[in-house]
């Protein structure tokens, strides 16, 4: 069992490193795409104007994503309340299924 768990941990670590590598490369790809946008806008605008326009676009996107994320975070149930609710559900299940089931069974002994 210990060997199996160790093998799982090794595979998980390798998978995690691969995902982190992909995330790092994705970050640099995004930087290149922003540079491309600035270069494309620089065809019609001065370089400072293209950079400012790109920064404005990114600011709007960041603001929109942040606002949506903030609204979703506020809609989430707090972790302590979630644990309490799960605990109540668990206790209710035990009371209904286990403790009350003995009282409801009919006697077949006659």
**pLDDT in tens for each of the 110 residues of the chain?**
677 778 888 888 899 999 999 999 999 999 999 999 999 999 999 999 999 999 999 999 999 999 999 999 888 878 888 888 888 988 888 888 877 765 555 555 55
Number of domains, the chain:
1
110, part of any domain: no
Enclosing domain of residue 14: 2-102
The Cα–Cα gap between 61 and 30 comes to 13
User: Using CA atoms, how far apart are residues 105 and 57, in angstroms rounded to an integer?
Assistant: 68
In a domain, 108, yes or no: no
13 neighbors 21 (Cβ within 8 angstroms): no
Residue 107 placed within a domain: no
Indicate whether 31 belongs to any domain.
Answer: yes
Q: Could you tell me if 38 and 50 are in contact, meaning their C-beta atoms sit under 8 angstroms apart?
A: yes
Could you tell me if residue 109 is inside a domain? Answer: no
State the pTM of this model: 0.58
């Amino acid at each position: 069992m210990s060997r199996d768990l160790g093998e799982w941990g090794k595979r998980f670590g390798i998978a995690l490193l691969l995902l982190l590598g992909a995330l790092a490369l994705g970050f640099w790809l995004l930087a290149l795409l922003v540079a491309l946008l600035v270069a494309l806008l620089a065809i019609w605008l001065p370089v400072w104007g293209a950079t400012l326009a790109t920064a404005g676009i990114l600011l709007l996107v960041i603001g929109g994503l942040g606002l949506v994320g903030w609204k979703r975070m506020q809609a989430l149930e707090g972790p302590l309340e979630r644990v309490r609710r799960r605990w109540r559900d668990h206790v209710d299940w035990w009371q209904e299924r286990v403790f009350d089931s003995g009282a409801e069974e009919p006697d077949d002994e006659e």
